[in-house]
Every structure is written in structure tokens, then in C-alpha cells.
Amino acid sequence: MKWGIIATWAMAYEGISKAAKELAEDSIAGDALEHSIKIVEDNPLYRSVGYGGLPNEQGIVELDAAFMDGDQFNIGAVAGIQDVKNPISVARKLSNHQFNRFLVGQGATAFAQKNGFERMNMLTDESRTIWEKRVEEMKTKDLSPYDGHDTVGVVCLDHRKSMAAGTSSSGLFMKKQGRVGDSPLSGSGFYVDSEIGGATATGLGEDLMKGCLSYEIVQLMGEGLSPQEAANKALYDFEEKLIRRKGKAGAMSLICMNNEGQWGVATNVEFPFVVATEEEEPTVYIANKGEGYSTIIDKATKEQIEKCE
Ligand code: GLY
């Protein structure tokens, strides 16, 4: 049986490389996925996930994360959690609970503390400096929140044909306190069914959650579309609808993999992502929207990868 793993953004390369080794040695999908996301959360250089993530308008880092097991549809999620090193691990722990699977704010933080998850101040000096500069700029300029959209999202398939999906994000820079994006929302930020496949999203949560695009892609794969066909159809149909009805659509990118290890991606912005399968070394690709509901996918050059880092 084949294994495979796909993740949003070049920042996932190190985590995916480690997860690929684990999957080749027969690790289960949930473990490989959690380890890959923890590596991104722990890296202070990534400004949109975990330690070093940019804060909300009060200067507080509020983190969102989710974990889903595609065998039993177990979902766990946290939103607005603070001072916890690895939100993905808290989300995974919650996925094993019968009730109270999605905790927010103080409740999520208290749960993590009570259950022994490592606590730390997630605001780095560098991120505080970026925040202070933006606060000053906003006194004189009419700036909207930074529209970066770099959630780490992973879909993973193991040798047993079990699948998992997960996300982790600090959300929009300068977001309102308590703002939650798509990342912890089932169906929008992520979805996985081991009998079909899984998908995760990155982009403007306020638009992604209007379309439940991760669920839509899994359903389309279930109807027989290839992962690439499903991603193209779900995203570009919805983008067209948003533009027709509201006049604009925010940045949206989705990755997906079916339970054969075939993968797909669709995006309306330039979008690096990482794939590793039994047949393919960890590889960074760059996707762009093509003509007529298509996606152009190229292997990233060394220069492009360095630019992403
Ligand atoms: N996609 C992440 C967010 O909007 O918070």
C-alpha cells in the first residue's frame, strides 16, 4: 500500500521530510501529521504559525488548530488558544474525546494547562517589533489587517490506508481579539475521509468559510473526480461565484490527496506547497491559476524556495 503526504507552503518542507521518513517506516498517519505540523509551529521564523506567529491588534498571539482522523471522523480543534507551544497536539488530544472537542479562548488554554501541554510565551521579540511598527503606522495610515494567509495544512495517508488532516495558524495579523478563521472549522479549513481522501485550505478565512471547500473537494473525489479535477472545480467555481455575487474574492489555496496517494492543488494566488509519496522525494512545487479553471504546477527552483523562506 502507498503512503503520501501533502502540505501547504514551503515552510512545511522540513516537517514533511521528517514525516516522510516516519511513513516509510510504517508510522501511522496521525503521528506523522502531528510531527510535521509541530516542526512548523516550533520555528520562530514563520510568522503565521505557532511560536513567532504575528499577534492580534492587542499584541496577543491567539492560535487556531485542528486535527481530524479520517477513519472514525474524530475531530478536535482549538481557537484563540494562548501561551501553548503546540496547538496541533491539543487539537489531536481533543479529537479523542466524546464531547467538548472544539474549545476556544480561555477554555482551550485551561484545557492545555490542565493536561500538561507545554506552555510558553508565543510572541517573539521580532514579532512584537513588527506589531509595534504596525500599531504606529495605523495611527497615521488607513491600513487593513495584513492579508497573509500562511496556515500550515497537511493531509496524510499511511500504509494502512488510514488518513488524517490537520491545520495550525496564528490567523490574520492585527485581527480583532477573538477572531477565528477557517483553519479550525471542519469542512472549511480541513476535511478527511479515509475511504476517499482529504483536503486542507489556506487563505482568507473569511472567504474560505463561505464555501466549505475542503469538504467540497472530498465529496467531489468521492464522486470519482481525480484530486486535481476536484480541487480545480471546487475552488474556481466558488471563486467565480464570489466575484459574481460580491465583486471580489480573497486569496484561497487548497491541497488534497486521495487514498491512493494521488494529489491535487488549486489556488488563486502564487502558492508553494510540498509533497512526498512512496514514489517521490519531498518536493516543493509552485502552483498558479491557469486559463479555464486549470492550475499550473511547476517544481520550485532553489531560488524560489529560498525566496519563500
Ligand atoms: N486561513 C487562516 C485564517 O484566515 O485565519
Domains contained in the chain, CATH given: 4-308 (3.60.20.30)
Closest CA to 57 of 131, 127, 124: 131
The residue from 8, 151, 167, 202 that is catalytic is: 151
In the chain, DSSP assigns E strands to 4-8, 63-69, 74-81, 102-104, 152-157, 163-169, 190-193, 197-203, 252-258, 263-267, 271-277, 280-289, 295-299
Cα separation, 196 vs 88, whole angstroms: 23
Q: In a structure prediction context, what are the per-residue pLDDT tens digits for the chain, which is 309 residues long?
A: 599 999 999 999 999 999 999 999 999 999 999 999 999 999 999 999 999 999 999 999 999 999 999 999 999 999 999 999 999 999 999 999 999 999 999 999 999 999 999 999 999 999 999 999 989 888 888 776 655 668 999 999 999 999 999 999 999 999 999 999 999 999 999 999 999 999 999 999 999 999 999 999 999 999 999 999 999 999 999 999 999 999 999 999 999 999 999 999 999 999 999 999 999 999 999 999 999 999 999 999 887 777 765
**Residue 254 in contact with ligand 1 by CB distance below 6 A:** no
**C-alpha of 118 from chain center:** 22
**Residue 151 in contact with ligand 1 by CB distance below 6 A:** yes
**Residue 149 in contact with ligand 1 by CB distance below 6 A:** yes
Substitution site in 183, 210, 213 for ligand 1 pocket (most atoms within 8 Å of beta carbon): 183
**Residue 74 in contact with ligand 1 by CB distance below 6 A:** no
Please, which residues have CB within 8 angstroms of residue 42's CB and are 6 or more apart in sequence? 50, 51, 85, 86
